Structure 1
Amino acid sequence: MYHYDEYDRALVFERVAQFRDQVQRFTAGELSEEEFLPLRLQNGLYLQKHAYMLRVAIPYGTLGARQMRTLASIARDYDRGYGHFTTRQNIQFNWVELAQVPDILQRLAEVDMHAIQTSGNCVRNITTEAFAGVAADEIIDPRPLAEILRQWSTINPEFLFLPRKFKIAICSARQDRAAIMMHDIGLYLYRDGRQQMRLRVMVGGGLGRTPILGLQIREGLPWEHLLSYVEAILRVYNRHGRRDNKYKARIKILVKALGIEAFAREVEQEWQHIKDGPAQLTEAEFQRVAEGFAPPRYAAQPDGDLDYGTHLAMDRSFARWVSRNVQPHKVAGYASVVLSTKPGPAAPPGDLTAEQMDNVADWSEHFGFGEIRIAHEQNLILPDVRKADLYPLWRLACEQGLGTANIGLLTDIIACPGGDFCALANAKSIPIAQAIQSRFDDLDYLHDLGELSLNISGCINACGHHHIGNIGILGVDKNGSEWYQVTLGGAQGKASALGKVIGPSFSAAEIPRVIEQIVATYCAYRELDEPFVDTVARVGLEPFKERVYARQPEVSTCAM
């Protein structure tokens, strides 16, 4: 993984000192709340319902063991003993005190971490897929370019005060696990016929109030022009994006208003002025950054491990966990392990206690090379585990509540903190997730049901990515009461789709029954091994609506 150099460290430590001074001036009454607001937001500090919330960046979702232990110490010393991992590969601490935030930032800086630009109208945390560098279906490791984007965008004065927040994602695998079509800029890295690195560039994606899938603006962009082309896009957005209405300020609204062809022409014209300037990347600069992502020293593994095979054959629970939570690795004898943060009602999706964080850090060193990844599904990944070590790791994960075999299943729910914490939320998310998990607590049934994603957002800002869940739930306000709107047919990846609303919203108490009826309808109509989104596309919404809104619905289960 990449390690900060002296320039990175100088910037981060100076930013800590600057914010410490700003906090002191604010508490002394020398800065008004209006003046302090943009300062704290660009340092990742929100004022939530009950306390300040600090959002810490985890660039492209990669952490070292020492960094994870620091996050655990912050949760223990400055919060209530836990942290919340988000869909943007960040971690949030929900109960921090303002006076202690500079000390938290100081502790983060000591392990090459920060909260810079995790909020505000600027370029946010650069994201990629959690299996970057190790995925069996990867074309090129996208992390060096993600790191170059991070360095370029951090405190870049031209783009610190954009019309609205700006999100960039990059991936380079056969399967898009970074949801690049849902970002302001989505980048797909590949090799052309001559094996040269090229980029496919998409713009104007985003969820929230107006969900839109990104549109392709450039094909075959040489990697050397990554920064200049992104800069051209941002300049056009900065120049034409609306600042009079925050609900119409995202780049997706600008692209829709101008049309993709007109927007592309503007970008190309801007790019011609800067494409061969100082932002053009060199092979030497790429290699300098790429050295930080050199593969670890993998040890040759036997073709088949007898103990591992025996455990698979003899322990059904372990075999089930391997089938859901273990991903193929590009190196023979190794695998990537997904640690589920969704054990059921016992913990909100994405939450980890300080003790769990410490244990994950230990496991990353004992079973790997000290590296941890954060997935946008809010789970954690140990990227380099020997297959011979999977069984003892699984036993430890189960003891810590991180061994649930539900990755990609209905109870692997993505959910924002919702109305329990967020001042913007219209409704609670966590109790809804827990109620659904309680209703669907039979792992055998879930495995028979197969892949099925369910995402929950507490408000229209869509931090839970409800639009791209196979089943999406959105909290809405109805005359001061919490209600929930349901969408069906959303999907992420290369076949991304936005879910469609099935009808009137439901009360919180109705939601578990509604989900049960949706699943029952799927079971009744699906063809052999047909994914949920394909069934919805084939039969339409009407059968689901009939079952869900029936007065006395019948519940059936999948016959496998």
Structure 2
Amino acid sequence: MYQYDQYDHLIVRERIAQYRDQVRRRLSDELSEAEFLPLRLQNGLYMQRHAYMLRIAVPYGLLASKQMRMFAHIARKYDRGYGHFTTRQNIQFNWVELEQTPDILADLASVEMHANQTSGNCIRNTTTDEYAGVAADEIIDPRPYCEILRQWSTFHPEFIALPRKFKVAVNGAKEDRAAIAVHDIGLTVVYNEAGEIGFKVMVGGGMGRTPILGTVIREFLPREHLLTYIEAVMRVYNQYGRRDNKYKARIKILLKAIGAEEFARQVEEEWTDLKDSAQTLTLEEMERVIAYFQPHPYKQLADIDQSQAADNKAYANWLKRNVKAHKQPGYAAVVLSLKKTGVPPGDATAEQMDFMAELADRYSFGELRVTHEQNIVLADVEQTQLFALWQEAKAHGLATPNIGLLTDMICCPGGDFCSLANAKSLPIAAAIAERFDNLDFQHDIGEIELNISGCINACGHHHVGNIGILGVDKDGSEWYQVSVGGAQGNSSAIGKIIGPSFSALQMPEVIGRILQVYVRDRIDGERFIDTATRLGVAPFKEFVYATPIVDAGRLVGEDEYV
């Protein structure tokens, strides 16, 4: 795990001092809210519907146990006893007081954390595979390159005022678990014919108002040119990206306007003067950063036959859904589910955070990972300890065996918190989870990704959900648009809208009808996304709208999150 060097410490200390003075001036009205807004956003502070929200960076999703404990401390001292893990592998606290935010940042700095560039028109937190370094199908560990990108992009003077926010994801495995196709830049580790390490570069992906999958503009970029080539991409975007309309300011719009071939040509032209500059990565620099991510001191173990777990159905289900293969024999990666029915997806209490930190210390070399599906991973658990870990996690509400299943939903905070949202997300997630809270049923229908966003900004990644739900405003009322067929990973796809929107109270029945079509028409062993891809939208649309869906009863949780 990377540790701050002298420059990191200095940068963070100076930023906190600067921000503390800005808050003082705002509280004394020396700064107006309009003047303060860009300053607070640079430090991850948003004004939401009811209070300030602070977004804290978790670089490439990697946490030390002491850092998780700090989150628990912040939740208790400054918030309402919980935090929300996001699809950017970060954490948000939704109820902070403005005057306390400098103290929160100072507390974070004590464990080498910050909130820099978690907002604003800059390069945001670089994300990656939550199983980086341990995945059985990994080509190379992408985390050192994420760290190199973090150091390069932090306060880069040329890219702190981009046309719009900018997101980068890096995948180092055969299977893309970083959703690189829907990022402004998506990087995949590859080898060329000479056996050299490099990156396939994809540009122009994104969701929001105009969902687009990225386009490959370079099949092989030598790793020493990682920074120089990305700088060339950023320069072209910074110069030609639109600033007259924020809805058309992302790099995907520029790429669409001039074409991928012309964009790639401009990048190559810009790169000509950069490729042999001082920003070219030396072998020594790469090895310096790679040294922070060396494998843990694993024991020499053999894999264990878990077939005896069939006698314990609950444990067997957990092994099947929440335990993932590890490249080191005798070890496994474990997903702690933050999707227990009745709890907003991605939320964890201070007590749970402290407990997860304790589990990390005892079972996983003191490390945790945040997933972009809003769960937590212990990446290095001995297989002999899985049963004991399961029992402890279950007692703390963290062992729901639903990873990859229907109730493992991605969901943004929506209208209960966010002032940008058109509709609430959390009550919809709660109602669907309540309706389908039957693990036997969920295991029968198998893998399915259901993603919910409260507005077109798509923080819930609804476009790439196998089933996507989008909150929309309809004459001042909250309604929900449904799409089918979205997917992330190696076969990424943007879902297609099935038809007119639905009321909140209709949503559980809508999902039920979609699932009925799948169960009726699936071929043996076929996942939902495979069936949806094969059939297209038409059968789902026909069945969902065949008869009226009547609103009935109070929507679960509709008044419970304000």
8 A Cα contact 1:142 1:172, kept in partner? yes
1:344 corresponds to: 341
**Contact map agreement 2:485 2:536 (CA 8 A) in 1:** no
Aligned to 1:24: 24
Counterpart of 1:142 in structure 2 is 142
1:336–1:382 contact (8 Å) kept in structure 2: yes
Note if contact 2:49-2:418 (Cα within 8 Å) is conserved in structure 1: yes
**Aligned counterpart, 2:183:** 183
Kept in 1, the 8 Å contact 2:47–2:53? The answer is: yes
Distance 1:360 1:8 in 2: 27
Distance of 2:188 and 2:153 partners within structure 1: 19
Alignment of 1:94-493 (within 5 A): 94-304=94-304, 310=308, 312-345=309-342, 347-493=343-489
Which ranges of structure 1 fall in alignment gaps of 5 or more residues? 555-560
| Structure 2 unaligned blocks of 5 or more | 551-562
Q: Which amino acid aligns with 1:480?
A: G
TM-fit CA distance, 1:169: 0.4
CA distance in 2, matches of 1:131, 1:150: 19
Q: Determine if contact 1:467/1:490 at 8 Å carries over to the other structure.
A: yes
Aligned mates of 1:50, 1:3 — CA distance in 2: 36
Contact 2:304–2:383 (Cα < 8 Å) also in 1: no
CA distance in 2, matches of 1:238, 1:147: 23
What SS does the corresponding residue of 2:490 show, helix, strand or coil? coil
Task: Specify the code of the residue in structure 2 equivalent to 1:46.
Answer: Y
Letter in 2 for 1:441: D
Q: Give a deviation string over 1:406-457, Cα, whole Å, max 9, x none.
A: 0000110000000000000000000000000001011011101111100000
The separation in 2 between residues aligned to 1:190 and 1:297, in whole angstroms, is: 27
Show the counterpart of 1:12. 12
TM-score when scaled to structure 1? 0.97
Calculate percent identity across the aligned residue pairs.
63
Shift of 1:64: 0.1
**Alignment equivalent of 2:525, drawn from 519, 529, 533:** 529
Deviation >4 Å, runs of 4+: none
Q: Deviations over 1:323-364 (max 9, x none)?
A: 00000000000000001100112x100000000000000000
Which residue type is aligned with residue 483 of structure 1?
A: W
What aligned pairs does 1:501-516 form with structure 2 within 5 A after superposition?
Answer: 501-516=497-512
Tell me how many residue pairs correspond in the alignment. Answer: 550
d(CA) in 1 for partners of 2:129, 2:462? 19
Structure 1 partner of 2:89: 89
The structure-2 alpha-carbon separation of the partners of 1:338 and 1:452, relative to structure 1 and needing over 3 Å to count, comes to same
For the 8 Å contact 1:547–1:553, the answer to whether it is kept is: no
> In 2, are the aligned partners of 1:517 and 1:553 still within 8 Å (CA)?
no
Distance 2:539 2:141 in 1: 43
Contact 2:332 2:379 in 1 (8 A): yes
Shift of 1:31: 1.3
In the TM superposition, what is the alpha-carbon distance from 1:309 to its structure 2 partner? 5.5
CA distance in 2, matches of 1:313, 1:167: 43
Amino acid at match of 2:34: E
CA distance in 1: counterparts of 2:173 and 2:304, whole angstroms: 27
Which letter does structure 2 place at the counterpart of 1:341? L
Mark the CA change 1:259 to 1:316 in structure 2 (over 3 Å): closer, same or farther. same
Q: How far off is 1:537 after superposition?
A: 2.2
SS in 2 for 1:273: coil
The amino acid of 1:340's aligned partner reads S
CA distance in 1, matches of 2:70, 2:367: 14
CA distance in 2 between counterparts of 1:77 and 1:133 reads 34
| TM-superposed deviation, 1:391 | 0.5
Secondary structure of 1:23's counterpart equals: helix
Deviation string 1:27-67 (CA, Å, 9 cap, x unpaired) is 11111212111111010000000000000000000000000
1:37-116 equivalence runs, <5 A: 37-116=37-116
Letter aligned with residue 355 of structure 1:
E
Instruction: Check 1:246–1:325 CA distance in 2 against 1; reply closer, same or farther (3 A cut).
Output: same
User: What is the identity, as a one-letter code, of the residue corresponding to 1:471?
Assistant: I
Q: Which moved more, 1:541-550 or 1:114-123?
A: 541-550
Q: TM-score, normalised by structure 2?
A: 0.97
Specify whether residues 25 and 303 from structure 1 end up closer, same or farther in structure 2 by C-alpha distance, changes over 3 A only: closer
Deviations 1:259-312 (A, max 9, x none): 00110111000000111001100110011111110111001124537xx654x1
Q: Equivalents in 2 of 1:360, 1:195: separation in Å?
A: 40
Mapped partners of 1:108, 1:77: distance in 2 = 13
